[in-house]
Each structure stands twice: as C-alpha cells, then as structure tokens.
Amino acid sequence: MAPLRQRLSSTRVALLGALGVATLAAALSILVAGSEDRQAERDQRRAAASSGVAFDSALAELDRTVEAGPRLADVPEPELVSSGIVAVGRVPLDGSDPDPQSASLARGQLPAGLSLATLVERSRSALELARDTGQPLSGAPVSGHVLVATPDYGNGQAPRTTLGRRAGLQSWVVYVIATPRLLTKIGETDFAQVSLVIGGREVTGSPVNEPAVEHAETFLGQTWVLRLPVHGEPGPGAAAWAVALMGAIGAAATVAIGIRDGRMLAETVAATSALERETRAVAELGPLLQQKLDLGEVLPAVAVRLSDEFDLEHFGVELVGEDGGFVDAFAMGRRSPEGSVDVGQAGSRETVRAGVEFAVPLLRAGRIIGRLRMTSRQPLSATQLDTLRAAADLIAVATYNVELYEREQANVQRLTELDRLKDGFLGTISHELRTPITAIGGFVQLLRRQWVRLSDSERLEFLERVQRNTTSLGFLVDDLLDFARLDRHALGITPTSLDISDAVSAIVEQLTPLLGDHRVTLDVKRGVHGLADNRALERVVANLLTNAAKFSPVQSEICVSLEGDAQWVTMAVSDEGPGISPAERGRVFQRFYRGDGDAARSTRGAGIGLSVVHELVTQMGGSIDVEGREPHGTRMVVRLQAQPRTGVRLPEQGPSRVETRST
C-alpha cells in the first residue's frame, strides 16, 4: 500500500477535498430536488425484492428439474429449456467426447466458440467430486455458462462408500445452464445492469457498485449471488442540473485520479479475496477430515479441494512406512521425475514457481509422519505456501487419528477372536472331561452290581477299561494344569542331562495301549543323551502321540524316531493322517487352536495340547516344527540340546524306572 500513501500527499488531499465538497453540494441539491425520486427508488427496491423472489423460484425450478439426475435426458425438452438448460449430454468414463443427448438442444444453443466438450474439460474437478460424493455439482462458469455434472451409477442407487462410487460409476449426465436465460426468466427488469456471481466468480454483467440489493442462494455446491443495483435517477430541474454539472466535472477529475489508485486497490482486493477463498478452502478441510476415519475417502476429497483452489496439476500424500521410507498413500496427476523440492519451515519467505514439484512435511508431535507433494500450474507465493502448510497440519492430524483407530480396531478384532475360541474351548473341555469320567463310573458301577454274575475275563476287561480311561483323564488334567500355568511361566521345569532314548522308549511303551487301533513303530537310536526334564518330556511325547492317533485313521502307522549328534537331539513323531496344510502350520501352536475344516471341528481335543508342548520344549531349550509328509501325513520334529550350552556337564539323572547310569 506504500505507493497509495505516496499519492495521498497534501496537495492531492486538498484537491480531492475541494472536489469532494463540490460533489457533496451537487449531491445535496440533487437530494433536495429529488425527493420524489426517493419514491421511485423505493419502488425500485420493491421491484428488486420481487426479482429476488423470482430468482429464488427460478433456482428452485432448476433444482427440481435437476433432481431427475441421470434420467435428465428423459425430461421433456420444453421443461428443460424453461428451466434455463441449453444442453444435455452423457460423458463416458474413458475420457472421449461427451455425447449430446438432445440434439436439438445442443444444436445452436451454445455460444460460438463454446462446446459441450470444452465445458466438460474445464469442469473436470467438479465431475470427479460429483462421482465421489454421489451428488450433482456445478463447475466454474465459462462465458456465462455453468456445467452441472450428475453421476450415473447404473441402477439408480449411489454406492455407500467413495471407493464404491468410484468403482460403480458408469458415466456422467451433464447439462449446461445458460445464465443469461436464467436472468431473463427473472422478469423484465428496468435495471441497466444485473450482476450474477457464482462461487465468487463474476458470471454476467459487470461488477455492480453500491447501493445494491443482494440475493444469495446455495445451489449445487456453490453460492449464487444476484446483485441488483438500486440508483435514483436524477430529477429534472435546471438549477439542480447546473450544480450537478459542477459536481460532475469535479467528480470526473476525482475519478480520473482515483482510477489509477483504484486499479491497484482492485488488484489488492482481488489478491485478498483469492487468499480468503484459499484460506476458506483449508478451513473447510478441518470438518472434512474429521468426518471420516477412512483415508481412502478423505484423501481424494482433500485432493480435489486443494487442487481446485491452488490449481494443482499434481497432488500426492506420502506416509512413512514401517521401514522408515515414504510410501504413497494417495496420488493424483503426474509426478515429476526429478523429485520434489522441500519447501522448508513455516515463516520462510520461499516461493515456488509454476510447474515445479514441491513437498511439505506432515508433522505430528515433532516427528515427520509423511509428506504432501504438489505441483501447481501457477506460481505460489510465500503466503500461499503457508496456507498449504496449514492444510498439511490438518492432514497430519487426520492421518495420525486414522492410524490410532486402525490399531484399536485390530486389537478389538484379536480380542473378539480369542473370546470366540475360548467359548468353544469350554464346551470341548467339559466333554473331554466327562467322557472318561462317565466310562470310569459306569464300569465301576457295573462291576459292583454285577460282580458275581460276571466271568473273570469280563471283570478283568472292565478293570482295564477303567484304567485306560483313568490314564487319559490324568493326561488331560495335567494338560489343563500346565495350560493354566503357561501364563505364569510356572511350569516348574528343571532340565538335566537324560538318557533320552530310554525315556522316550519307556513313554511310548506305556502309551501304546491308549492309542487305539494304530501300529506304533519305534526307531530309536540307543544311548542318545540330551538336556531335558523327565516329566516335561513325558508330556511332550504323550501329547504328540495322542494327537497323531486322533488325527489319523485306524490301522495306520505312527512312527517315533530318535537320533542325535554333538549339537542336537532330534525326535520325530509321524502319522499317516490328512496332514496339516502349510497355511495352518504356523497356527497349530496357538492356544485354543483346533484347526479349520471338518476334520478338526468335531474331533475331540481342546486345542491346548500343542501350545503346552511348545512351551515345554522351549523351556527345555529346544524347538519344535511341523512338516508335511508324502503322500499325506504330519511329522512333528522336536529338537533338544545335546549338551548344556554352558559347557558344564550336569550330573546325570535317569528316569525312575531305569537304573541310574554313571557318567
């Protein structure tokens, strides 16, 4: 504003002052002479008000016509024309030219030099936003014509999400509103000038000065403002004319001086209103970003908004990935092959030239969580860059919130799944416990009631059944207890150096009767020593064997092998059952996991055995793996340490049923 202040030197002030007084005198006399003109003015104001009403109803009629949406092409032509619509077309997805739906409408109705295709091109962002939101939207006015885009999803119902709408869009139905026609509809006007401003842009007429009556409506996503000037006509009267002439000359001089200043003022005003628009656009981002927690919906809407305001030909959002590198979360337009220029901190006076790709960091609590990449078709001032940094801050907060929300959702899902598994677990456990108890109780009762009537062999058989069920029950109870202790890491294991060959052979022998109709093969190298806890080893082998028996058909073979070298002792339990798919192999050691598919669904077993086995083996310093067999079957491989890692040999302690050997 400095140049303006220079011009306001004292002589100019005096000159302007003198001219001002003259003008004031002229004005006063005009006022005196024109009291009846005030009446005329009041009439005009009333007329302006009724024009406002006509404006409202014209827009309302347009609104109703527009509600036909994609079926607009079916609306009869006279109705369209009376609403102010001069062209209707269908825009295909592939970017080819729009196809006029109403030949007679399209023909000769648009001004020379303006075609439906041009209008569509200039309103691209309105088309995209209409597609994403499912609402008809208008583009910026071109030569007094406004293109409105209506998305057509095919079966009439817009999909519920932005991504769904993008995928479901078949074409757009577009139509063109000719604003001159609209103005004519408002009625015969006595007014020399009428101004229509759509979305802040002057559409018809010339800018109208005060005094004026304004009517504003929000229509198709933009604000339409009709300005009707109200000025009194100078009344006749020679004296008044003379004074007015003097004032007019003075005024003309003022105007001449003022025009130069005015132009500068206009430029500043234009810049201010552009800044206002841009700031408003960023302010609108706030609620937009808060509305949804789905980045897939939010980022595109943000991109369109910012691209519109800052005339961006490229907009991208990068987020920091798990490895610390930047990953594209969203991108629109072409990236520059030379990469982006970082535009530094807020408050720096850097500017950016048109067509140069630049990046603004996304910061959250002082950490960089991503970047916004942009290329504008216009040069951007330092103030505009500050505005974009403000937008970046909002986007950073939104992204952070989304991440928190997603993490929370993942947690909730995990807990729900765990709950579900536990419920199944309780049912199964009850069944698993009650079955052997019923059998034990039943056979004992039979023995008591029918003792004398039973033969010796029958009595023995019943007692064997009782014993078998007691052993099974014992294992299950041990499993349960160990499982309960898993969380507290209280399994009480003390690994010592054992003769593993003997321990394993003994366990297998003891368990074979429990394994039903299976052939059990032992392939155990003698004298293999390793680090293990006797009880834990017994539990591990028992579990693996009973699993093998449960999941393989009767008469099939179960093989137990054992061998060792200087480093490791390797024990394997194999069956000929259906096997475990590679996808499931990672999950079998999870608690409560009983497998997917029919085979596992009704098979007994509570899903705790393998998780206990895994923990026991780990605590003995070993590892366990699952392998598949050809043509089908499972092989569980347990590795234990051959000797303690510290290098100190622990005193040997064999299992109680075998005599102690010396080192």
Partner 1 sequence: MPRALIVDDEEDIRMLIRLTIEIANEGLAVAGEAANGEEAIDRWREEQPEVVVLDYRMPGMTGLEVAERILAEDPEQPIILFSAYVDAETSAAARRLGIRECMPKADYDQLPDALWRHSASA
Are 215 and 226 spatial neighbours (Cβ–Cβ below 8 Å)? yes
42 vs 50: CA distance, rounded Å = 12
Segment lying near partner 1 (by CB under 8 A), choices 7-15, 98-106, 311-319, 442-450: 442-450
Q: Does residue 74 belong to the site contacting partner 1 (CB under 8 A)?
A: no
123 vs 263: CA distance, rounded Å = 30
β partners of residue 152? 171
Beta strands in 97-221 (DSSP E): 99-100, 137-138, 145-152, 171-178, 195-198, 201-204, 212-219
Q: Does residue 483 belong to the site contacting partner 1 (CB under 8 A)?
A: no
Q: Which residue number, 1 or 554, has a Cβ lying nearer to partner 1?
A: 554
Omega of the bond prior to 631 within 30 degrees of 0, cis? yes
β partners of residue 564? 569
In the complex, the smallest distance separating the C-beta of residue 461 from partner 1, rounded to whole angstroms, is 9
DSSP 3-state of 492: coil
Q: Does residue 430 belong to the site contacting partner 1 (CB under 8 A)?
A: yes
Q: How far apart are the first and last CA of the chain?
A: 101
Q: Does residue 435 belong to the site contacting partner 1 (CB under 8 A)?
A: yes
Q: Which residue number, 449 or 632, has a Cβ lying nearer to partner 1?
A: 449
**Which of 16, 246, 248, 439 touches partner 1 (CB under 8 A)?**
439
Q: Does residue 465 belong to the site contacting partner 1 (CB under 8 A)?
A: yes
Residue 414 is inside which H or E element, if any? helix 382-450
β partners of residue 364? 367
Nearest to 613 by CA among 624, 621, 605: 624
Q: Which residue number, 254 or 467, has a Cβ lying nearer to partner 1?
A: 467
307 vs 301: CA distance, rounded Å = 10
643 vs 218: CA distance, rounded Å = 83
Q: Does residue 431 belong to the site contacting partner 1 (CB under 8 A)?
A: yes
Both structure tokens of 457? 């062999």
The mark string for 552-591 relative to partner 1 (x by CB under 8 A, - otherwise) is ----------------------------------------
Q: Does residue 459 belong to the site contacting partner 1 (CB under 8 A)?
A: no
Omega of the bond prior to 578 within 30 degrees of 0, cis? no
**CA-angle at 543, arms to 460 and 459, nearest 5°:** 5
Segment lying near partner 1 (by CB under 8 A), choices 21-29, 44-52, 248-256, 439-447: 439-447
Residue 626 is inside which H or E element, if any? strand 623-628
Q: Which residue number, 443 or 475, has a Cβ lying nearer to partner 1?
A: 443
**Which of 280, 377, 604, 632 touches partner 1 (CB under 8 A)?**
604
In the complex, the smallest distance separating the C-beta of residue 284 from partner 1, rounded to whole angstroms, is 52
357 vs 372: CA distance, rounded Å = 10
In the complex, the smallest distance separating the C-beta of residue 611 from partner 1, rounded to whole angstroms, is 21
Segment lying near partner 1 (by CB under 8 A), choices 79-87, 440-448, 519-527, 567-575: 440-448
**Which of 155, 157, 602, 663 touches partner 1 (CB under 8 A)?**
602
Q: How is 281-334 classified by DSSP, letter by letter?
A: HHHHHHHHHHH-S-HHHHHHHHHHHHHHHHTEEEEEEEEE-TTSSEEEEEEEEP
Q: Which residue number, 157 or 602, has a Cβ lying nearer to partner 1?
A: 602
Q: Does residue 470 belong to the site contacting partner 1 (CB under 8 A)?
A: no
Q: Which residue number, 172 or 443, has a Cβ lying nearer to partner 1?
A: 443
In the complex, the smallest distance separating the C-beta of residue 481 from partner 1, rounded to whole angstroms, is 20
Q: Which residue number, 50 or 445, has a Cβ lying nearer to partner 1?
A: 445
Q: Does residue 427 belong to the site contacting partner 1 (CB under 8 A)?
A: yes
Q: What is the DSSP letter of 552?
A: S
Q: Does residue 223 belong to the site contacting partner 1 (CB under 8 A)?
A: no
Nearest to 617 by CA among 639, 596, 595, 633: 639
Q: Does residue 274 belong to the site contacting partner 1 (CB under 8 A)?
A: no
In the complex, the smallest distance separating the C-beta of residue 587 from partner 1, rounded to whole angstroms, is 20
The mark string for 374-413 relative to partner 1 (x by CB under 8 A, - otherwise) is ----------------------------------------
Q: Does residue 634 belong to the site contacting partner 1 (CB under 8 A)?
A: no
Q: How is 146-168 classified by DSSP, letter by letter?
A: EEEEEEE-SSS---SSHHHHHHH
Task: State the Rg of the chain over Cα.
Answer: 44
**Which of 90, 122, 468, 585 touches partner 1 (CB under 8 A)?**
468
**Which of 154, 187, 207, 441 touches partner 1 (CB under 8 A)?**
441
**Which of 184, 206, 438, 470 touches partner 1 (CB under 8 A)?**
438
Instruction: Name residue 476's amino acid.
Output: L
* CA distances from residue 424 to 421, 427, 428, 459 in whole angstroms, order as listed: 5, 5, 6, 38
**Which of 322, 456, 487, 598 touches partner 1 (CB under 8 A)?**
598
Half-sphere exposure of 35 (CA within 13 A, CB side): 1
Q: CB-based contacts of 453: which residues, under 8 Å, 6+ apart?
A: none
Segment lying near partner 1 (by CB under 8 A), choices 145-153, 225-233, 304-312, 601-609: 601-609
Q: Which residue number, 359 or 606, has a Cβ lying nearer to partner 1?
A: 606
Q: How is 8-52 classified by DSSP, letter by letter?
A: --HHHHHHHHHHHHHHHHHHHHHHHHTHHHHHHHHHHHHHHHHHH
β partners of residue 330? 317
In the complex, the smallest distance separating the C-beta of residue 560 from partner 1, rounded to whole angstroms, is 24
**Which of 246, 274, 363, 446 touches partner 1 (CB under 8 A)?**
446
In the complex, the smallest distance separating the C-beta of residue 460 from partner 1, rounded to whole angstroms, is 14
Q: Which residue number, 249 or 446, has a Cβ lying nearer to partner 1?
A: 446
Q: Which residue number, 468 or 535, has a Cβ lying nearer to partner 1?
A: 468
Are 330 and 299 spatial neighbours (Cβ–Cβ below 8 Å)? yes
Q: Which residue number, 112 or 554, has a Cβ lying nearer to partner 1?
A: 554
In the complex, the smallest distance separating the C-beta of residue 573 from partner 1, rounded to whole angstroms, is 20
**Which of 268, 445, 555, 581 touches partner 1 (CB under 8 A)?**
445
**Binding residue count for partner 1, defined by CB under 8 A:** 24
Q: Which residue number, 264 or 477, has a Cβ lying nearer to partner 1?
A: 477
Are 328 and 316 spatial neighbours (Cβ–Cβ below 8 Å)? yes
Segment lying near partner 1 (by CB under 8 A), choices 4-12, 270-278, 461-469, 653-661: 461-469
Q: Which residues bind partner 1 (CB under 8 A)?
A: 427, 430-431, 433-435, 437-439, 441-443, 445-446, 449-450, 465, 468-469, 598-599, 602-604
